[in-house]
A and B are shown apart, each in its own frame.
Chain A
Amino acid sequence: GNSVTQMEGPVTLSEEAFLTINCTYTATGYPSLFWYVQYPGEGLQLLLKATKADDKGSNKGFEATYRKETTSFHLEKGSVQVSDSAVYFCALSARNTDKLIFGTGTRLQVFP
């Protein structure tokens, strides 16, 4: 079946550090891939997406590249800020379903 696996958190970083949150997936065919962010007390917001192999999604300094050969979609940011502290969810949408499948989420804590 379709599934998403994320690295466990929390990830704790100092401001301006480099961030990587790993995400790998299992899916039939070629899914679309998404990263969502959830700030405390809020719903989920789309951060970025990629719909085909080798696509790079980017937004607000975050990037993720759709790697079909490694079935991965790792989230990166070169220099995190305190305001990036949130929970990040990797998700996929497979071709044979209209549902989004979410990973378990990774909490990021950035300290000044």
Chain B
Amino acid sequence: SAVISQKPSRDICQRGTSLTIQCQVDSQVTMMFWYRQQPGQSLTLIATANQGSEATYESGFVIDKFPISRPNLTFSTLTVSNMSPEDSSIYLCSARAMALNTEAFFGQGTRLTVV
């Protein structure tokens, strides 16, 4: 199993500013992902964080808005840039080993409110 620490756990930000969310995994994992979960909704995958290269973004998400870093196997950051109230959501970090039958582990999430 893996324990994922995510911070901050919550924040209230002014529109037009940026917030960087950090995700630390307690063991080396192959894959890391960032999800968004809007209130009462399911999880939407933003991107796969690739070690040492650019993240792979899902349709509807772009690097300029959600830059992602992954400098090593256990750490990743997601930045929400030039925020608007529509970015208010829960952002979740997830990690998974390479084997196809393995489950994904999740951080506690970052609850972001943009005012």
A interface residues, Cβ below 8 angstroms from B: 32, 34, 36, 42-46, 49, 51, 89, 93, 95, 98-100, 102-105
Residues on A with beta carbons closer than 8 Å to the beta carbon of B33: 99-100
Known: A34-B103, A42-B108. 14 other contacts (CB 8 A): A42-B109, A43-B108, A43-B109, A44-B43, A46-B105, A89-B42, A98-B48, A98-B96, A98-B98, A100-B33, A100-B94, A103-B42, A104-B42, A105-B41
- Check B63 for interface membership: any CB of A closer than 8 A: no
Determine which of A49, A95, A99 lies in contact with B48 in the assembled complex, contact meaning CB atoms within 8 Å.
A99
B1 to A, closest residue via Cβ: A46
Residue among A32, A34, A43, A93 with the highest chain B CB neighbour number at 10 A: A43
Chain B 17-47 interface 0/1 with A at a Cβ cutoff of 8 Å (1 = within) = 0000000000000010100000001110100
How many residues on the B side are at the interface (Cβ–Cβ under 8 A)? 22
In the assembly, what is the distance between CA of A89 and CA of B42, in Å?
A: 8
Q: Give chain B interface residues in 85-115, CB to chain A under 8 Å.
A: 92, 94, 96, 98, 100-101, 103-109
A43 near B43 with CB under 8 A, answer: no
Q: A-B pairs with the 3 shortest C-beta distances?
A: A43-B106, A51-B101, A44-B106
